[in-house]
Amino acid sequence: MSNTPEESVKCDAIGDDLIEFALGTLSGRRRSVVLDHLETCAHCDAESEALASVADSMLWLAPEAEPPLGFESRLIERYRSTEVRHASSSSRRRRVAVFALAAVLVAVLGIGIDAIVMSNERTNNNLATSRPLTGHLMADGSVVGQVSISSGHPSWMIMDVDAGYLSGAVWCEVTFANGRVETVGSFTLANGYGSWIAAIKDSGSRVRSARLVNSNGKVLAMATFAV
Binding site residues, other proteins, CB under 8 A = 16, 19-20, 22-26, 50-51, 53-68, 71-72, 74-76, 78-79, 82-83, 86, 88-89, 91-92, 130-132, 134, 148-154, 156, 158, 188-191, 193-197, 199
The HSE-up count of residue 170 (CA atoms within 13 Å, CB side) is 28
CB of 142 to other proteins, least distance (A): 19
Answer yes or no: are the C-beta atoms of 177 and 206 closer than 8 Å: yes
Instruction: Tell me 130's DSSP state.
Output: G
Query: For other proteins, which is the closer residue by CB, 6 or 83?
Result: 83
One-letter amino acid at 68 equals P
Residue 148 CA to residue 159 CA, distance in Å, equals 6
CB of 37 to other proteins, least distance (A): 17
Query: For other proteins, which is the closer residue by CB, 86 or 180?
Result: 86
Query: For other proteins, which is the closer residue by CB, 71 or 215?
Result: 71
Answer yes or no: are the C-beta atoms of 160 and 95 closer than 8 Å: yes
Give the distance, in angstroms, between the CA of residue 2 and the centroid of all CA atoms in the same chain.
37
Query: For other proteins, which is the closer residue by CB, 116 or 132?
Result: 132
Nearest Cα to Cα of residue 194 among 167, 176, 219, 217 = 167
What radius of gyration do the chain's Cα atoms show? 24
Query: For other proteins, which is the closer residue by CB, 134 or 175?
Result: 134
Strand 219-224, strand 207-213: pairing: antiparallel
CB of 177 to other proteins, least distance (A): 19
CB of 154 to other proteins, least distance (A): 6
CB of 125 to other proteins, least distance (A): 16
